[in-house]
Amino acid sequence: MAGASGKDKLLTGIFWLAGIFIVLILAGIIGYVLFRGASSLSLDFILQPPSRAGRLGGISTTIVGTVYLTLLALLAAVPVGVGSAIYLEEYAHSRSRFAKLVNLTAETLAGIPSIVFGLFGFVFFVIFLGMGWSVLSGGLTMAIMILPTITRTAQEAILAVAGEYRENSLALGASRWQTVRRVILPSALPGIVTGIILSIGRAVGETAAIILTAGSSLGMPVSPMDPARTMSVHLYIMAMEGISTERAFGTACLIVVLIVIINYLANLSLSRLTKAMR
Amino acid sequence: MDNVVSTKQEIKMKSVDLQVFYQDFQALHGIDMDIKANHVTALIGPSGCGKSTFLRTLNRLNELIEGTTIKGQVYLDDQAIYSKEMDVVGLRKRVGMVFQKPSVFPMSVYENVAYGPRIHGIKNRGQLDEIVEKSLRAANLWEEMGGRLHTPAARMSGGQQQRLVIARVLAVDPEVILMDEPASALDPISTSKLEELIAELKRAYTIVIVTHNMQQAARVSDYTGFFLNGQLIEFNRTKELFVNPANQQTEDYITGRFG
Residues from B in contact with A at Cβ < 8 Å: 59, 61, 64, 66, 89-90, 92-93, 96-97, 99, 101, 103, 105-108, 115-116, 119-120, 152, 154, 165, 168-169, 172
Q: Give a yes or no: residue A153 inside a domain.
A: yes
| Chain A residues within an 8 Å CB radius of B185 | none
In this structure, is residue A32 part of a structural domain? no
Give chain B as a 3 state SS string.
CCCCCCCHHHEEEEEEEEEEEECCEEEEEEEEEEEECCCEEEEECCCCCCHHHHHHHCCCCHHHCCCEEEEEEEEECCEECCCCCCCHHHHHHHEEEECCCCCCCCCEHHHHHHHHHHHCCCCCHHHHHHHHHHHHHHCCCHHHHHHHCCCEHHHCCHHHHHHHHHHHHHCCCCCEEEEECCCCCCCHHHHHHHHHHHHHHCCCCEEEEECCCHHHHHHHCCEEEEEECCEEEEEEEHHHHHHCCCCHHHHHHHCCCCC
Domain-embedded: residue A104: yes
Contact B66, A94 (CB under 8 A): yes
CATH number assigned to the domain comprising residue A148: 1.10.3720.10
CA A103 to chain centre: 20
Contact B106 A93 (CB under 8 A): no
The per-residue pLDDT for A138 is 96
User: How many distinct structural domains can be found in chain A?
Assistant: 1
Instruction: List chain B residues with CB under 8 Å of A91.
Output: none
What phi and psi values does residue A276 have, to the nearest 5 degrees? Answer: -55, -25
Which residue out of A168, A175, A177, A179 would a mutagenesis test of the B interface target, given it has the greatest number of B Cβ atoms within 10 Å? A168
Mean predicted confidence (pLDDT) in A189-205: 89
Report the C-alpha gap between B180 and B210 in whole angstroms: 5
**Which run of H or E residues covers position A156?**
helix A135-171
In chain B, the N- to C-terminal Cα span, in Å, equals 21
A158: in domain: yes
Provide, rounded to the nearest whole percent, the portion of chain B with pLDDT above 70.
96
Q: Using CB atoms within 10 Å of the CB of residue A173, give its burial: 0 to 12 exposed, 13 to 18 middle, 19+ buried.
A: buried
Which of B55, B103, B151, B168 has the most A C-beta neighbours within 10 Å, making it the best mutation to test the interface with A?
Answer: B103
- Least confident piece of the model among A74-88, B192-206, B245-259: B245-259
Nearest CB among A167, A172, A187 relative to B168 is that of A172
Q: Is residue A175 part of a domain?
A: yes
Asked if pLDDT for residue A161 goes beyond 90, the answer is no
What single string gives the DSSP state of each residue in A218-240? -SPP-STTS----HHHHHHHHHH
Q: What is the pLDDT of residue B5?
A: 47
Q: What single DSSP character describes residue A126?
A: I
Contacts of B66 in chain A (CB under 8 A): 93-95
Domain-embedded: residue A172: yes
A257 touches chain B (CB under 8 A): no
- Does A268 or A158 have the greater pLDDT score? A158
Look at residue A95 in the predicted model and tell me its pLDDT. 66
Q: What is the pLDDT of residues A32-47, one digit of tens each?
A: 998 998 888 889 999 9
* Number of inter-chain CB pairs under 8 A, A vs B: 72
Residue B116 has pLDDT above 90, yes or no: yes
Going B59 to B63 to B65 to B69, the CA torsion angle's sign is positive
Look at B165 and A169 and tell me if their CB atoms are within 8 Å.
no
Tell me the pLDDT of chain A averaged across its residues: 89
In a domain, A161, yes or no: yes
Q: What pLDDT is recorded for position B8?
A: 46
Report all structural domains of chain B as residue ranges with CATH numbers, in order of start. Answer: 8-254 (3.40.50.300)
User: What is the spatial distance between Cα B132 and Cα B112, in angstroms, rounded to a whole number?
Assistant: 9
Is some CB atom of chain B closer than 8 A to the CB atom of A164?
Answer: yes
- A 10 A CB-CB count for A256 gives 15
Highest-pLDDT range among A97-101, B52-56, B251-255 = B52-56
Report pLDDT for B1.
43
Residue B6 has pLDDT above 60, yes or no: no
Query: Is A4 near chain B, with CB under 8 Å?
Result: no
pLDDT per residue as tens digits for the range A67-118: 999 999 999 999 999 999 998 888 887 667 888 888 888 888 888 999 999 9
| Average pLDDT score, chain B | 91
> Among partner residues B64, B90, B116, which is closest to A172 by beta-carbon distance?
B116
Interface test with A, best of B105, B109, B115, B175 (most A CBs within 10 A): B105
What is the extent of the structural domain holding A226?
59-231
Q: Which of B59, B107, B172 sits opposite A277 (nearest CB)?
A: B107
Q: Are the beta carbons of B89 and A183 separated by less than 8 Å?
A: no
pLDDT exceeds cutoff 60 at B93? yes
pLDDT at A236: 94
Among the listed residues B257, B256, B177, B249, the one whose alpha carbon sits nearest the alpha carbon of residue B220: B177
pLDDT score, position B118: 94
Chain segment B142-195, per-residue pLDDT in tens: 999 888 999 999 899 988 999 999 999 999 999 999 999 998 888 898 899 899
**Residue A144, in any domain of the structure:** yes
Query: What pLDDT digit, counting tens, does each position of A219-268 carry?
Result: 999 999 999 999 999 999 999 998 888 899 999 999 988 888 888 887 78
pLDDT at B2: 44
Least confident range of A92-106, B53-67, B152-166, B204-218: A92-106
What residues 171-230 of chain A have any CB closer than 8 A to a CB of chain B? 171-175, 178, 182-183, 186-187
| Residue B102 confidence class, pLDDT cut points 50, 70, 90 | confident
